[in-house]
Amino acid sequence: MRELGVELAGLLRPGDLAVLSGPLGAGKTTLVQGIADGLKVRGPITSPTFVIARVHPSLSGGPALVHADAYRLGGDLEVDDLDLDASLEESVTVVEWGEGLVEGLADDRLEISIERGESGEERTVRFRGIGARWEGIV
């Protein structure tokens, strides 16, 4: 998952919103760790479940990474309180558990669904690009 995140970081640019879904332990945070490595941002990258959102500034002049977790959010009003849209244009924003909550933040977004295989070791990752930004990319 980490290697996939590094590769994915090469496609991401300021203003991008990625929405991650999948069960507990699927590898969402590990994928974000790889994205962070690829974007060369300050870490460490840990699950933001209790903090809800963290901003990781770039160490290389690239975009910051905003890493958010919507698992404990109760609805749109709580998402609005995070002000994710305030930094959306200049950052790469990745939201775990954001499905059904953060789609209104941007017309273009990358939806990433992660499922564990039967043995628990393998993963199936599905990408769905929404909007003109992702046409022909995923």
Task: List the single range of 29-33, 48-52, 120-124, 127-131 with lowest mean pLDDT.
Answer: 48-52
- Which residue is it, tokens 């090469």? 10
Which tens digit of pLDDT belongs to each residue from 58-87? Answer: 999 999 999 988 766 554 444 555 556 556
pLDDT value for 77: 41
Number of domains in the chain: 1
Q: Give me the pLDDT at residue 48, please.
A: 62
The helix or strand, by DSSP H or E, that contains position 81, with its residue range, turns out to be helix 76-81
Which tens digit of pLDDT belongs to each residue from 107-128? Answer: 899 999 999 988 878 999 999 9
- CATH code of 67's domain: 3.40.50.300
Residue 26's domain comprises 1-134
How many CB atoms within 10 Å of residue 116? 16
Q: Is the pLDDT of residue 40 over 50?
A: yes
